[in-house]
Amino acid sequence: PASGILRIAVDATLPPNRRLSVLEPIDTGGVVRLTPQIAAELGLAVESHIGADEFAAVVNRAGIALNGADHLFFFPLAEHAALTATPPSDTVRRLRADDAAAFAAFEEAAPDDDLDEAFVELDHWLVYGAFVAGELVAAASMYPWTGTRLADLGVLTLPAFRGRGLARETVRALSADALRQGYEPQYRCQLDNHASVALAASAGLQRFATWDVIAQD
């Protein structure tokens, strides 16, 4: 569809946390993916089309809250080979369970709001970190989305160590590992998070779309 027009795609297999989502690629139309139950609640027919503004009004009238749109970034296909061929720097390596003490100290030093927003966890599927003088100062982790080959990532650098390119190096090392294992790295951030947008660009990620999802209870 044309820009500003959304296609309705009904899918009974969607997980509860993505039972309603809106994907709007740059410079073209988008798609609303939703379960049959929500489609019936909104009065939307399978494979029909609706304007983005009209859809927002329909959702609002139904009292359904969305989480708030994110930018969605991916690495260009043309960059995959170079990314996977580049070894991590001496300061960056994969983190494992025996890094628990270093990761706990990292969490203790990080601002609470940053921890919540970044959602970086040592028990995620794949985790990388950057060290300075033996201290873990930046970390990035990712986990695959159920039923997909997408690996969603988050990253966090301690405030005193920002501006050194550590997050960029960590994201690229993490993403290269995921690509080697057959997963596509996916990076998301809120539309007004200018620091995260800048990090995505510096890491070589390109903006593909905006994406919104139903708010969790």
pLDDT digits (tens, 9 = 90+) for 5-45: 999 999 999 999 999 999 999 989 999 999 999 999 999 99
Write down the pTM of the prediction.
0.89
Instruction: Calculate mean pLDDT across residues 140-148.
Output: 93
111: three-class secondary structure by DSSP: coil
Residue 2's pLDDT band (cuts 50, 70, 90): confident
**CA–CA dist 177, 90 (Å, integer):** 16
Give 134: exposed, middle or buried? Use CB within 10 Å, 0-12, 13-18, 19+.
exposed
- Bridge partners, 119 (sequence order): none
pLDDT > 70 in the chain, percent: 100
Q: Judging by DSSP bridges, how do beta strands 184-190 and 70-74 pair with one another?
A: antiparallel
pLDDT of residue 142: 98
Phi, psi of 119 (to 5 degrees): 50, 60
Residue 3 has pLDDT above 90, yes or no: no
pLDDT of residue 84: 96
Do the Cβ atoms of 103 and 139 come closer than 8 Å?
yes
pLDDT of residue 217: 67
Do the Cβ atoms of 19 and 214 come closer than 8 Å?
yes
Element (H, E) at 186: strand 184-190
**CA–CA dist 60, 55 (Å, integer):** 9
Residue 58 has pLDDT above 70, yes or no: yes
Element (H, E) at 184: strand 184-190
**CA–CA dist 139, 122 (Å, integer):** 9
User: Which residue matches tokens 């970034």?
Assistant: 73
Residue 1 has pLDDT above 80, yes or no: no
**Segment 76-94, tens digit of pLDDT:** 999 999 999 999 899 999 9
